[in-house]
């Protein structure tokens, strides 16, 4: 439900405001990745109960809104909620993340199609890329014992590179 609401909101928002929101959320994502690295590397799940479980459900709704709103980087917020709040292992959270994105992507795509906001070339290109990436990620997670550590490291590198590119921070270095 959150993804549907987020998709509808993004079809109504000013593009300049959207760019500011995306930039702020990238910085938030980077901060989340640095929170308690040991939790990210947990090998076994410790099921959340009580209040933590309800907070996790609320956050999943908000992450769904974000996913419908922007999509880019939703995996980081899904992983953060599942690993840091709901206490899944990185391996289990990655598997669940793939299913969650698959489930909400179809109705969200319908909203963008209905609003006439789909560039079909890039939609197909992105869909194929996400499918191939999901397959490679699933194979990696099932075959390598240190997959959680490498996934964490990859998240750091990709997100840091994205923030540097988005804010053009490389200009200050060159």
The pLDDT tens digits of the residues spanning 37-81 come to 888 888 888 889 999 999 999 999 999 998 888 877 788 889 989
**pLDDT mean over 19-25:** 88
Report pLDDT for 45: 87
**Segment 130-150, tens digit of pLDDT:** 889 888 888 887 888 888 888
Packing angle of the helix pair 147-166, 90-114 (nearest 10 deg):
40
56: tokens are 């996790």
Q: What is the pLDDT of residue 88?
A: 93
* Pair of tokens at residue 82: 């599942």
Show the tokens assigned to 38.
């040991």
pTM, entire model:
0.81
Nearest to 43 by CA among 139, 141, 163, 155: 141
E strand segments, the chain: none
> What are residue 60's phi and psi, to 5 degrees?
-65, -35
Please state the three-class secondary structure of the chain as a single string.
Answer: CHHHHHHHHHHHCCHHHHHHHHHHHHHHHHHHHCCCHHHHCCCCCCCCCHHHHHHHHHHHHHHHHHHHHCCCCHHHHHHHHHHHHCCCCHHHHHHHHHHHHHHHHHHHHHHHHHCCCCCHHHHHHHHHHHHHHHHHHHHHHHHCCCHHHHHHHHHHHHHHHHHHHHCCCHHHHC
- Render pLDDT for 63-73 as a digit per residue (tens, 0 to 9): 999 888 887 77
Query: In the numeric block, which tokens belong to residue 44?
Result: 């076994």
């Amino acid at each position: 439900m959150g993804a549907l609401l987020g998709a509808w909101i993004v079809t109504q928002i000013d593009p300049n405001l959207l760019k500011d929101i995306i930039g702020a959320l990238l910085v938030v994502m980077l901060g989340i990745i640095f929170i308690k690295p040991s939790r990210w590397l947990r090998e076994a799940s410790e099921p959340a109960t009580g209040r933590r479980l309800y907070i996790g459900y609320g956050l999943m709704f908000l992450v769904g809104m974000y996913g419908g709103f922007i999509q880019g980087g939703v995996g980081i917020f899904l992983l953060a909620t599942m690993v840091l709040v709901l206490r899944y292992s990185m391996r289990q959270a990655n598997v669940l993340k793939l299913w969650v994105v698959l489930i909400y992507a179809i109705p969200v795509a319908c909203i963008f199609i209905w609003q006439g906001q789909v560039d079909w070339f890039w939609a197909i290109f992105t869909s194929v890329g996400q499918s191939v990436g999901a397959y490679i990620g699933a194979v990696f997670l099932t075959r390598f014992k240190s997959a959680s550590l490498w996934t964490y490291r990859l998240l750091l590198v990709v997100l840091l590179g994205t923030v540097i590119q988005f804010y053009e921070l490389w200009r200050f270095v060159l």
